[in-house]
Structure 1
Amino acid sequence: MRPADILTLTPAGLFCPPGDFHVDPVRPVARALITHGHSDHARAGHGAVLATAETLGIMGVRYGEAFAGSTQIATYGEPIALGPVRVTFVPAGHVLGSAQIIIEAGPTRIVVSGDYKRAPDPTCRAFEPVSCDVFITEATFGLPVFRHPAPGAEIAKLLQSVALFPEQAHLVGAYPLGKAQRLIALIRETGYERPIYVHGAMERLTDYYVAQSVQLGDIRLVRAEGRAALGGAIVICPPGALQDLWARRFPDPVAAFASGWMRVRARARQRGVELPLVVSDHADWDDLCTTIVETGAEEVWVTHGQEDALVHWCLLNGIKARPLHMLGYGDEDATEAPPAASGQAGGLDSTPAVQVATGRVPGPGRPREGEPSP
Structure 2
Amino acid sequence: MQPAQILHPRPEGLYCPKADLYVDPTRPVARALITHGHSDHARAGHGAVLATAETLAIMGARIGPDFAGSTQSLRYGERVEIGGVTFSLHPAGHVLGSAQALAECGGTRVVVSGDYKRQPDPTCAPFEVVPCDVFITEATFALPVFTHPSAEHEVRKLLASVAMFPERAHVVGAYALGKAQRVMAELVRCGWDKPVYAHGALLEVTKLYQAHGVELGDIRPVETAPKSFYADAIVLGTPSALQTPWVRRFPDPVTCFASGWMRIRARARQRGVELPLVISDHADWCDLQRTIVDTGAGEIWITHGEADALAHWCEGEGLKAKALHLVGYGDEENEGAAA
TM-score (norm 1): 0.89
Q: Deviation of residue 151 (structure 1)? A: 1.4
Instruction: Give me the whole-angstrom Cα distance separating, in 2, the residues matched to 1:336 and 1:9.
Output: 29
TM-score (norm 2): 0.98
**Letter of the structure 2 residue corresponding to residue 11 of structure 1:** P
Q: Which residue of 1 aligns with 2:170?
A: 170
Instruction: Give me the whole-angstrom Cα distance separating, in 1, the residues matched to 2:64 and 2:225.
Output: 29
Q: Which residue of 2 aligns with 1:271?
A: 271
Listed one character per residue, the Cα deviations across residues 246-266 of structure 1 (whole Å, up to 9, x for unaligned) are 012222100000000001011
Q: Which residue of 2 aligns with 1:152?
A: 152
Instruction: Give me the whole-angstrom Cα distance separating, in 2, the residues matched to 1:179 and 1:333.
Output: 9
Relative distance call for 1:224 and 1:205 in structure 2 (3 A) is: farther
**Letter of the structure 2 residue corresponding to residue 32 of structure 1:** A
2:135 is equivalent to residue 131 of structure 1 = no
Q: Deviation of residue 223 (structure 1)? A: 2.1
Instruction: Give me the whole-angstrom Cα distance separating, in 2, the residues matched to 1:301 and 1:337.
Output: 26
Which shows bigger deviation, 278-287 or 245-254?
245-254
Q: Which residue of 2 aligns with 1:191?
A: 191
Could you say what secondary structure the match of 2:223 adopts?
A: helix
Q: Which residue of 1 aligns with 2:293?
A: 293
**Letter of the structure 1 residue corresponding to residue 111 of structure 2:** V
Instruction: Give me the whole-angstrom Cα distance separating, in 2, the residues matched to 1:338 and 1:271.
Output: 8
Could you say what secondary structure the match of 2:135 adopts?
A: strand
Instruction: Give me the whole-angstrom Cα distance separating, in 2, the residues matched to 1:260 and 1:202.
Output: 20
What pairs with 1:6-155 in structure 2 (closer than 5 Å)? 6-155=6-155
Q: Deviation of residue 225 (structure 1)? A: 4.6
Q: Deviation of residue 64 (structure 1)? A: 1.0
Contact 1:21 / 1:32 at 8 angstroms: preserved in 2? yes
Contact 2:175 / 2:336 at 8 angstroms: preserved in 1? no
Could you say what secondary structure the match of 1:175 adopts?
A: coil
Q: Deviation of residue 276 (structure 1)? A: 0.2
Which shows bigger deviation, 322-331 or 120-129?
322-331
Listed one character per residue, the Cα deviations across residues 80-130 of structure 1 (whole Å, up to 9, x for unaligned) are 111100000000000000000000111010000000000000000000001
Could you say what secondary structure the match of 1:223 adopts?
A: coil
**Letter of the structure 2 residue corresponding to residue 119 of structure 1:** Q
Q: Which residue of 2 aligns with 1:344?
A: none
Could you say what secondary structure the match of 2:186 adopts?
A: helix
Give the gaps of 5 or more residues in structure 2. Answer: none
**Letter of the structure 2 residue corresponding to residue 205 of structure 1:** V
Contact 1:331 / 1:337 at 8 angstroms: preserved in 2? no
**Letter of the structure 2 residue corresponding to residue 154 of structure 1:** E
Q: Which residue of 2 aligns with 1:310?
A: 310
Q: Which residue of 2 aligns with 1:359?
A: none
Relative distance call for 1:113 and 1:154 in structure 2 (3 A) is: same
Contact 1:91 / 1:128 at 8 angstroms: preserved in 2? yes
**Letter of the structure 1 residue corresponding to residue 116 of structure 2:** Y
Instruction: Give me the whole-angstrom Cα distance separating, in 2, the residues matched to 1:153 and 1:159.
Output: 10
Q: Deviation of residue 331 (structure 1)? A: 4.5
Could you say what secondary structure the match of 1:54 adopts?
A: helix
Relative distance call for 1:47 and 1:169 in structure 2 (3 A) is: same
Which shows bigger deviation, 30-39 or 328-337?
328-337
Could you say what secondary structure the match of 1:110 adopts?
A: strand
Instruction: Give me the whole-angstrom Cα distance separating, in 1, the residues matched to 2:208 and 2:127.
Output: 21
Q: Which residue of 1 aligns with 2:234?
A: 234
Relative distance call for 1:79 and 1:131 in structure 2 (3 A) is: same
Contact 1:24 / 1:35 at 8 angstroms: preserved in 2? yes
Listed one character per residue, the Cα deviations across residues 269-319 of structure 1 (whole Å, up to 9, x for unaligned) are 010000000000000000000000000001000100000110000000001
Instruction: Give me the whole-angstrom Cα distance separating, in 1, the residues matched to 2:193 and 2:254.
Output: 20
Q: Which residue of 1 aligns with 2:214?
A: 214
Aligned-CA RMSD value: 1.2
Instruction: Give me the whole-angstrom Cα distance separating, in 2, the residues matched to 1:186 and 1:173.
Output: 15
Instruction: Give me the whole-angstrom Cα distance separating, in 2, the residues matched to 1:107 and 1:308.
Output: 29
Instruction: Give me the whole-angstrom Cα distance separating, in 1, the residues matched to 2:329 and 2:205.
Output: 21
**Letter of the structure 2 residue corresponding to residue 278 of structure 1:** V
**Letter of the structure 1 residue corresponding to residue 25 of structure 2:** P
**Letter of the structure 2 residue corresponding to residue 302 of structure 1:** I
Relative distance call for 1:338 and 1:196 in structure 2 (3 A) is: closer
Instruction: Give me the whole-angstrom Cα distance separating, in 2, the residues matched to 1:338 and 1:325.
Output: 20
Relative distance call for 1:69 and 1:227 in structure 2 (3 A) is: farther
**Letter of the structure 2 residue corresponding to residue 3 of structure 1:** P
Could you say what secondary structure the match of 2:71 adopts?
A: strand
- Counting aligned pairs with the same residue, the percent is 64
Instruction: Give me the whole-angstrom Cα distance separating, in 2, the residues matched to 1:93 and 1:230.
Output: 33
Instruction: Give me the whole-angstrom Cα distance separating, in 1, the residues matched to 2:227 and 2:22.
Output: 46
Instruction: Give me the whole-angstrom Cα distance separating, in 1, the residues matched to 2:104 and 2:21.
Output: 13
